[in-house]
Amino acid sequence: MTDLIKEQKLLENVTNPFKIKGRVIRNRRVEVFCDKETVSSVLLYAKTQLGYIHLAHMTCIDWIDENKFELIYTIWSPVEKVHLFVKTKIDRENPVMENIDKIWDQANTYEREMREMFGIEFPGLIGEHDFALEDWDEMPPMRKDFDTHQYAEQTYYNRPGREDAKDVRETLVERSGTEVPDFAKKYSRER
């Protein structure tokens, strides 16, 4: 294990000007946490002042219990060879996030994907209605409360030959010659 000097330095260089928190994850991995208003400033500062010129990835996590979306911007410096993760959490009810395609053009692709999959709006997004899903008017499918199972059942027909499927619990109940009382059935595993 190296002593992570450049990572520590990067952490200080990013967190001090903006008064934000962060940590060194391991060698060549640093993360910082900021509120959504600060994100573009941090990214622009890192790009122009610290040499983190490459937007490697943007992604989103649905923290449904917290009622938040977490957005993660992964940027990279070819000189330092360190990945910097800029993380922020935004409101899940009204998810609007600043569009950063003026900083990196390629952010457009990620933003369109996130708009479609999580329903996050990026004001000023170019070509926002045109991405992978066609004619999609349901809940964005990567949200945790989207019932993929139900969607699949409704959308696709079952291939012939699947009628012999059995339920594990029912098979066991039958074999043991018992009966699960009706009031208990709501606690049985769903098929």
Partner 1 sequence: MSFIDLKGLLQPLGALKQIGKKPHTIRFPYEKKDASDNYRGLHYNEINDCIGCGNCSTICPNAAIDMIDLLEVEGNAGDSGLRPRIDNGRCCWCALCVDVCPTGSLNLTKDYIYVTDDPNSFLWMPGVDNKEEGKDLISYTSDTTTSLSMYDRVPMRELEGKERVKSFAEVVLGYTEDEARAEAERCISCGLCTEACPEHMHIPEYINAIARGEDEDAVKIIYDNNPLPEMCGKVCTRRCEDVCALQVRGDAVAIRWLKRYATETAPTVEAIKEVVNPVIEEPNGLTVGIIGAGPAGLTAGYYLALKGYDVTIYEAQAHAGGMVMYGIPKYRFPLDSIDKQIEYMESIGVKINYNTRVGKDISFDDIYKNFDAVFIGIGLQKPWNIGIKNEDVPGVIPAIEYLKIINSGGSYDVGKKVAVIGGGNVAIDGARVSARFGAEVTILYRRRVKDMPADWEEIEGAEDEGVHIIPQAIPTRIIKNEKGRVKGIEYVMAKMLTQEGGGRPRPVAIEGSETIYECDTVIGAIGQQADFTWLPEKYKESVLIERGKIQVNNDRQTGDPKIFAGGDAVKFGNADAISAIADGFSAMKGIDKLLLKKK
| Interface positions with partner 1 (CB under 8 A) | 148-149, 152-153, 156, 158-162, 164-169, 171-173, 175-178, 180-181, 183-185, 187-191
- Contact residues for 123 (Cβ-Cβ < 8 A; gap 6+): 96, 98, 99
CB of 175 to partner 1, least distance (A): 6
21-26 and 54-63 strand pairing: unpaired
CB of 46 to partner 1, least distance (A): 31
Residue 60, helix vs strand vs coil: strand
Residue placing its CB nearer to partner 1 in the complex, 19 or 185: 185
CB of 169 to partner 1, least distance (A): 4
* Residue 103, burial from CB neighbour count under 10 angstroms (0-12, 13-18, 19+): middle
CB of 63 to partner 1, least distance (A): 17
Q: Cβ(77)–Cβ(47) under 8 Å? A: no
**Which helix (H) or strand (E) element contains residue 58?**
strand 54-63
Residue placing its CB nearer to partner 1 in the complex, 78 or 177: 177
Residue placing its CB nearer to partner 1 in the complex, 127 or 177: 177
Residue placing its CB nearer to partner 1 in the complex, 37 or 182: 182
